[in-house]
Amino acid sequence: MKRILTGDRPTGKLHLGHYVGSLKNRLRLQDEFEVYLLVADLHALTTNTDTRSLKQNIKDLVLDQLAVGIDPKKVTFCVQSQIPEDQELAVVFSMLVSKPRLERIPTLKEVMRDLKIETASLGLLSYPVLQAADILMVKANLVPVGKDQASHIELTREVAQKFNSTYKETFPVPEALIPKDISTLPGIDGRQKMSKSLNNAIFLSDDEEIVREKVMKMYTDPTRIHSTDPGHVEGNLLFIYHDAFNENRIAVEELKRRYQEGKVGDVEVKEKLASALNKFLGPIRTRRRRLEKETGLVEKILEEGTKKTRAQAKKTLQEAKAAMNLV
């Protein structure tokens, strides 16, 4: 069975954008592959060195994934900072990558621009090197990523190939797994991407009233002045969400027809969207509340998964050091 590593930075609770962009795919992958889910707490420090909420963020990250149906019996959860072999492997890999190569990573410029960072820290610049170590420490064959992260996996492939050619065939050359049916969910303000930092997200743990309030504030067709005006469906935020989460396809198509004919107002479209979202989120909220009451559950899952991952990382590091004549 092929092995996968993927993960998240623990920066807070997960939202609908995470579900569309990664969690929905993970539910499928956990039945097809050997999956490692990394809690990338060291990566979180690259853009925020305040660790006061880190423990709660880690717990929320795991709870949200369990709540949507990720099964700890099928996947291995692990905490990055608790695997020192990962960091040692990153030091070794850093000898194989030049500074100009890291500066060419497209997402580096995007992160610096979005967060208004003038000069990248060494940690942010070398983020892809540690990511390569994350992937290769468990000898993952596949890495599920969006198109925007494909350049990181290309660097990991280069690192594996250079190590293998310089020393000894030690690492698999992993491939990016870019699902064709995964897309980016826009934020409720109409921006291109849903994000905690942009305050435009509907969280998986939001209660019914909060979901409704957020939906009623959603950006919609700016060319439509009155409810009797013909509206645009294509690219309309409300219908993007209906298509993603409303299971009643017949009702959605009827709503689109009426909207295009100027026979339904935005309020009704939003009310029906709020109902559809709450129907989708209801079981997730219920499971999350139940899991939260299980004292020590998250801690046990992380402890057992990290122990298993570290055993694999130790073995990998020993092989790499032997190949380099360091042992």
Q: CA quadruple 89, 91, 97, 102: dihedral positive or negative?
A: positive
How far is the C-alpha of 91 from the C-alpha of 126, rounded, in Å? 10
For 258, the token pair is 């009426």
| Among candidate residues 125, 141, 122, 133, the one with its CA nearest the CA of residue 163 | 133
Q: What residues contact 20, with CB distance under 8 A and at least 6 apart?
A: 182, 183, 184, 185, 244
The per-residue pLDDT for range 222-261, each reduced to its tens digit, is: 888 888 888 999 989 999 999 999 999 999 999 999 999 9
Q: How confident is the model at residue 182 (pLDDT cuts 50, 70, 90)?
A: low
**38 phi and psi angles, rounded to 5 deg:** -90, 130
Q: Are 187 and 180 in contact (CB under 8 A)?
A: no
Q: Mean pLDDT score of the chain, rounded to an integer?
A: 94
Whole-angstrom distance, CA of residue 194 vs CA of residue 153: 23
Please answer whether residues 159 and 96 qualify as being in contact, where contact means their C-beta atoms are separated by less than 8 angstroms. Answer: yes
- Kindly tell me the sign of the dihedral angle through the C-alpha atoms of 218, 221, 225, 231: negative
**Environment class of residue 19 by beta-carbon count within 10 Å: exposed (0-12), middle (13-18) or buried (19+)?**
buried
The reply, when asked if residue 144 is annotated as ligand binding, is: no
Cα separation, 281 vs 204, in Å, equals 6
The response to whether 147 counts as a known ligand-binding position is yes
Rounded CA separation 203/110 (Å): 24
Tokens (6 digits) for 83: 């695997």
Q: Is 151 annotated as a binding residue?
A: no
Is 146 annotated in some ligand binding site?
yes
Q: Is 194 annotated as a binding residue?
A: yes
Query: Domains in the chain, ordered, with CATH?
Result: 3-184+296-323 (3.40.50.620), 208-289 (1.10.240.10)
Q: Within 95-236, where are the H helices?
A: 99-103, 106-114, 122-125, 127-137, 150-166, 208-216
The CA–CA distances, whole Å, from 306 to 26, 45, 76, 79, 289 equal: 19, 20, 8, 6, 25
* Higher-scoring residue by pLDDT: 82, 191: 82
Q: Is 196 annotated as a binding residue?
A: yes
- The answer on whether 16 is annotated among ligand-binding residues is no
Is 197 annotated for ligand binding?
yes
- Look at 183-187, 247-251, 305-309 and tell me which has the smallest mean pLDDT: 183-187
Run of H or E including 190: none
Is 137 labeled as ligand-binding? no
**What pLDDT does residue 72 have?**
98
pLDDT at position 107 over 70: yes
Split at pLDDT 50, 70, 90, the class of 132 is very high
The structure tokens listed for 108 are 């580096």
Which residues in the chain belong to E strands, given as ranges?
A: 3-8, 34-39, 75-79, 142-144, 175-177
Q: Is residue 138 within 8 Å of 3, Cβ to Cβ?
A: yes
Q: How confident is the model at residue 284 (pLDDT cuts 50, 70, 90)?
A: very high
Q: What is the DSSP letter of 76?
A: E
Per the annotation, does 181 bind a ligand?
A: no
Element (H, E) at 261: none
Alpha carbon 309 to chain centroid distance?
Answer: 20
In sequence order, what are the beta bridge partners of 35? 4, 75
- H-helix or E-strand containing 193? none
CA distances from 258 to 186, 234, 276 (A): 23, 14, 18
265 is in an annotated binding site: no
Residue 54 has pLDDT above 90, yes or no: yes
Report residue 242: phi and psi, to 5°: -60, -45
Tell whether the model's pLDDT for residue 181 goes beyond 70.
no
Three-state secondary structure string covering 113-138: HHCCCCCCCHHHHCHHHHHHHHHHHC
Is 31 annotated among the ligand-binding residues? no
Residue 134 assigned to a binding site? yes
